[in-house]
Structure 1
Amino acid sequence: MDKLLTIAEMAKELDIAESTVRYYRDRFPDFMFSVGEGRKKRYRPETVEVLRFIAEGFNRNLTAIEIESGLSLDFSRNIEVEEETAEPIAVAQQQSKNELNQYAVQLQTAMEQMGSAMQIMVDQKEEIAELRKQVAEQKQYVEETLQQRDERLMESMKQFLEQKKATAASSDSEKKGFWARIFNR
């Protein structure tokens, strides 16, 4: 097995500053092959070739995007996969069940509220229909009452006019002389 290297050892081998190696590591983390965490982190020997490629790219004034494209063609990416244990899976499943239960309760509450709102709307529609019926009945009553009043008024006016004519006729006949009344002239 090849020896694992520190940042300092890789910097010495490439003859560049440790800070530059750290910058390259942080800028292109997908291509850095490491083992361990924190101060105990060590890098596999192929990481030196990746760092050399990066350094040469910057020396040729390539952009970070161009360097990353070149790295993608020549080197594999480092993908970290965490192992899952049965416990986190069970916890996640329990959380999923709890979330589903919460959603079910929320959905049930929402459905009940919608049912209540729909019942209120049905009741209001019935009330509106009843009010419309009452308004129509009142409108008909008012129209009939007005028609009856108009008929009585017309009858009263006819009687008044007939009485006026009769009064006028009797008044004319009183003005006529005795002989004119006898001969109806």
Structure 2
Amino acid sequence: MEEWFSVSQLSKRTEIPETTTRRYLNNFEEHFRWEQRGRGKKYHPETIEILQRIAYLYGKDYETTEIKSILSNEYAFTVDDNQEDTMSRPRNLDSPMNFEEFRQQQNEFNKQLLKQLQEQLDYIRNILENQNVKSEEIKQLDQPKEKRIDRFNQIMIERKVNRILEKEAMALWQRQPMEQRKKRVGLFRKAEDIDKRDQFIKEYVDERFETYLKREFELEHD
């Protein structure tokens, strides 16, 4: 028999503060399976992955309405090729690999972030050098305090640019024809093609990142 979890147990397993966990459960109630047991609610094990997905999207600065739209697509069911199922409910997450896959994705994301930070730092230094910045000013970038400030600014600018581009890409993806966005996952249902969507967003960001970054640094001239 599956073990269902209380709010406090969900908080411990997801490492999300209990007050935040309760807020997610209330704000996105339609996406969770739960039962009333005694004086409290018990939630299906799949709730763990959905909570982690919500936390991840909030971490990427998505708004609540945007997250609801994403969850509806990721956990939506269709009854056939032509008719959409109007019931939105969590998908079946029986695989024990889901939690581990989520952690691996988070670790990979962190690695990529650190790599991109270094690449962007090198990119800005090259720009400064190509614009004949005085050597004394370039050397100042290597001073401990200034270097920390510079790195912080790079992080914030990169996140801002990525956030803008990802939101633009997601909006374009949502406007794609249904047959391009979904794939068959069973005999009578379809679900969001996550791999295809992520690749679509990645390519969109990669193609425009440099242009947007230059715009943020006011390096484009008419």
The TM-score normalised by the length of structure 2 is 0.33
Q: Which has the higher strand share?
A: 2
The TM-score normalised by the length of structure 1 is 0.40
Q: Which has the higher helix share?
A: 1
| Greater Rg over alpha carbons, structure | 1
